[in-house]
Structure 1
Amino acid sequence: MFFHQDANFDHLIIHHVGNKSQDEFYTLSDNEIDLQSDEVLTDLLMQYFMRPFAKANEVYRFYHPNEELELNELYYFSKQYFDQKISFVNFSHSIAKYLYEVTEHPKIKSGELYVVALENVQMEGEEHAAIGIFKSENKEAYLKVFPQADGLDVSYEQQAININKLDKGVIIINTEKEEGYKVLCVDQTNGSEAVYWKDDFLKLKTRNDNFQQTGNLMKVYKNFVTDKIDEVFDMDKADKIDLLNRSMNYFKSKETFDEEEFNEEVIGNPEAVSLFKDYKQSFEDEFESPFQSNFDIAGNAVKKMASSYKSVLKLDKNFHIYVHGKREYLEKGYDDDKGMNYYKLYFENEE
């Protein structure tokens, strides 16, 4: 989980990057923005840059297809800066020039590039220094109403930036350097030109440690139970909830994930196990993020996923049944006289 509430800017500089394929150019600033002169502006910029990352679920790492991290330009420049081998201004110039070189798709818009150095960002419970790189591409018109001596007047700003709509951004957190850092990414662009930010400029792959393994497997299993399993098996909502509850109990009670043990204790049915393996494989192929057959379960990932594991049967608008276990004590039937479905519940004590 990423938190920025205690973070502050150490440096901030703004450049402009055009589209190389359209014969546009880049403009580099030599001077940083004075962050001490206007506290309100600083707060607005922090909101503009950081808020889109509050719900970022995926954590990435830099990589290079040749397995040599130093060949990843963003990794190399970031490492140089974090190791204090290059000044912040020179670091930001290198970033802007490289972004210009990969801006070759004709539909990529020119825009302002903000490069910031941050202190005290919190990532998964620990505070770190970080680098933020953000690009604004879309401009909007804004009206401004202000008082005059005889009433109110109005003006407008034609090419203004909406601080609630960050187009592109990346936060590089100064930890786990040898593995490619922890990296968060935001890109609001759709279409064929969208891949250049994450794939061409940053070259990112999904982090695949215990936290990611735990969270991704729980997410894939949840989607499998919710959307896939009833294509083969005749299952009602209560059966699906039971499967989700069993998996949640497994992850909460075990310290280590074991694939064979999980298949036997949670899924149970050999045909369903085979179906889940195929479903899991499609995720691995699509996201290039293979699952290990054994890994240590990350408790913070389990806690994060718990809220998305629903255990409620919603019956019309009259009843909610919360199912926490003991599926055998819940029976479903159909009443011919009333022409309605029903559930029968068995219990020992009423509280």
Structure 2
Amino acid sequence: MIHVSEFKDLAQLTIHKVGNPANDEPLLFSKAPLKLEDETIAQLLVTYFIQPFANSAEYFRFYHEADLQLNEIFQYCRRIFTDENEFQEQSVNIAKHLYKHSTHPKVKGGELYIAYFSKCQVDGEEVAAIGIFKSENRDTYLKVFLSDENYQVDYEDGININKLDKGCLIFNTEEENGYKVSIVDSISKQTEAVYWKDAFLQVQRREDSYHQTETAVNMCKQFIHNKLPTEYEMDRVDQVDLLNKSAVYFKEKEQFQLEDFAQEVLGHPDAIASFKEFRNEYQQTYQQEIPDEFEISAPAVKKQQKVFKSILKLDRNFHVYIHGNREMIERGYDEATNLNYYKLMFESES
């Protein structure tokens, strides 16, 4: 986990301006790192850079299809970690690399901050870290001040320290595997933002408990939603019941065990066999391995809670949230109205 309070030593910081070459915007470099003499400004910058990563548990790693050593950002960071005196020169190389990949017409220019933290903690390990942050959007601020015994109002153009547009933290650990990398991208759902993670950084998810848990949750959801109904007569309530059981398993267990999950959630031998077959198909389709056993990541389960939404949608009239006993709800058909119905049984209401 990443905690803001553990990033206290901002040893170096430099700022470059990276425009969009497709829009004839320039690439401008600072000649030297910024001298941070004001502790308040330094702390505000650390908050601006690190707060978006707070309590993040999802990590990536640098990679290259041919050879990790060909990943440019990996090489620039490795040189800084090896010799801190390389910081300014390699920050310029990082800015050039970003400029080269900022050609999409919707990519905005902005300030690129390169920071070096000599000490921080990640998952309990104290290491150095490099931060690469980009601000693309500016805000207007009202400034209220006293002049000639009267308050006046003016405005200023600036950066909102609560809204980091893009960020990347590279921790000096697991170098042989492409380092441990954490990413923030506030507009990652937009296609033009792919340039940050895929083209500029070239990273992929690490095969850790977070990734394994997230993959297993998605696989289970697809099995319950898509596979089971094609093999068995199931109504939506039965699907919701299985989703609830899956949610309880991932929330209460510390370790995922394929056989244990299959018995507790599915139970029926035929359904278990179908589940194992689907797991193999899923791995081949998505090229993602789901081990028979792995440690369940609580942050990943929390992030994936929407997968387990137990909502029964009835036309446009009702949404029924089902959280517990499957036996307390029955489905039927009313011949007089030619409509389906559900009967809900309960002991008390509030």
Aligned to 1:150: 149
Change (3 A) 1:76 1:311: closer
Aligned CA-pair RMSD = 3.9
Q: Which whole-Å deviations, capped at 9, do the CAs of 1:163-201 have from their partners, x for residues lacking one?
A: 222111111112211111111112223544222111111
Give, in angstroms, the shift of residue 116 of structure 1: 0.7
Query: How many angstroms apart in 2 are the aligned matches of 1:21 and 1:7?
Result: 36
* Alpha carbons of structure 1 residues 200 and 206: separation in structure 2 relative to 1, 3 Å: same
Superposed, 1:191-270 pairs within 5 Å as 191-222=190-221, 225=224, 228=226, 232=230, 234-237=234-237, 240-246=240-246, 248-249=248-249, 255=255, 257-258=257-258, 262-263=261-262, 265-267=264-266, 268=268, 269=271
Q: State, as a whole percentage, how many aligned pairs show the same letter.
A: 34
Cα distance change of structure 1 residues 127 and 222 upon mapping to structure 2, 3 Å threshold? farther
Tell me which residue corresponds to 1:124: 123
Q: Which amino acid aligns with 1:14?
A: I
Structure 2 spans left out of the alignment, 5+ residues: none
Aligned length: 332
Counterpart residue number, 1:165? 163
Aligned partner of residue 5 in structure 2, secondary structure: coil
Structure 2 residue aligned with 1:42: 42
**Residue 29 (str. 1) matches residue 30 (str. 2):** yes
Cα distance change of structure 1 residues 184 and 279 upon mapping to structure 2, 3 Å threshold:
farther
Q: Distance in 2 between matches of 1:85 and 1:36?
A: 20
Q: Is the 8 A contact 2:256 2:294 kept in 1?
A: yes
Moved more, 209-218 or 7-16: 209-218
Residue 183 of structure 1 is matched in structure 2 by 181
Q: Distance in 2 between matches of 1:166 and 1:302?
A: 23
The answer to whether structure 1 residue 54 and structure 2 residue 58 are counterparts is no
SS for the counterpart of 2:6 is: coil
Once residues 44 and 223 of structure 2 are traced to their aligned partners in structure 1, the CA distance between those partners, rounded to angstroms, is 41
- Structure 1 residues 303, 119: closer, same or farther in 2, change over 3 A? farther
Q: CA deviation at 1:220?
A: 4.0
Which sits farther off after the overlay, 22-31 or 292-301? 292-301
**Displacement of 1:64 after TM fit?**
0.5
Which residue number in structure 2 is paired with residue 349 of structure 1? none
Q: Tell me the residue number matched to 1:102.
A: 101
Corresponding residue number in structure 1 for 2:111 = 112
1:284-303 Cα distance to aligned partner (Å, 9 max, x none): 63xxx512343432465677
Deviation at 1:114, TM superposition (A): 0.3
> TM-score scaled by structure 1?
0.77
Describe the superposition over 1:50-101 as per-residue Cα deviations: whole angstroms up to 9, x where unpaired.
12222646321111011x1110001111111112275221221221122122
What is the identity, as a one-letter code, of the residue corresponding to 2:137? N
Which one of 172, 180, 184 corresponds to residue 174 of structure 1? 172
Contact 1:14 1:114 in 2 (8 A): yes
Q: Distance in 2 between matches of 1:109 and 1:302?
A: 31
Give, in whole Å, the separation in 1 of the partners of 2:298 and 2:15.
37
Gaps of 5+ in 1: 347-351
Q: Tell which deviates more after alignment, 188-197 or 234-243.
A: 234-243
Instruction: Spell out the pairing of 1:237-316 with structure 2 (5 A cutoff).
Output: 237=237, 240-246=240-246, 248-249=248-249, 255=255, 257-258=257-258, 262-263=261-262, 265-267=264-266, 268=268, 269=271, 273=275, 277=279, 280=282, 285=286, 290-298=288-296
Assess if the C-alpha contact under 8 Å between 2:213 and 2:301 holds in 1. no
2:15/2:114 contact within 8 Å kept:
yes
Task: Between 77-86 and 146-155, report the one with greater CA deviation.
Answer: 77-86
- In the alignment, the residues of structure 1 paired with residue 195 and residue 221 of structure 2 have an alpha-carbon distance, to the nearest angstrom, of 31
Letter in 2 for 1:273: F
Q: Determine if contact 1:252/1:299 at 8 Å carries over to the other structure.
A: no
How does the TM-score come out when normalised to structure 2?
0.77
Is 2:112–2:133's contact at 8 Å kept on the other side of the alignment? yes
Q: Distance in 1 between matches of 2:158 and 2:250?
A: 51
Q: Identify the residue that residue 4 of structure 2 maps to in structure 1.
A: 4
Residues 250 and 301 in structure 2, CA contact (< 8 A), matched pair in contact too:
no
* Counterpart for residue 137 of structure 1: 136
Residues 92 and 306 (structure 1), Cα distance of their counterparts in 2 relative to 1, 3 Å cut: closer
**Are the counterparts in 2 of residues 80 and 86 from structure 1 also a CA contact under 8 Å?**
no
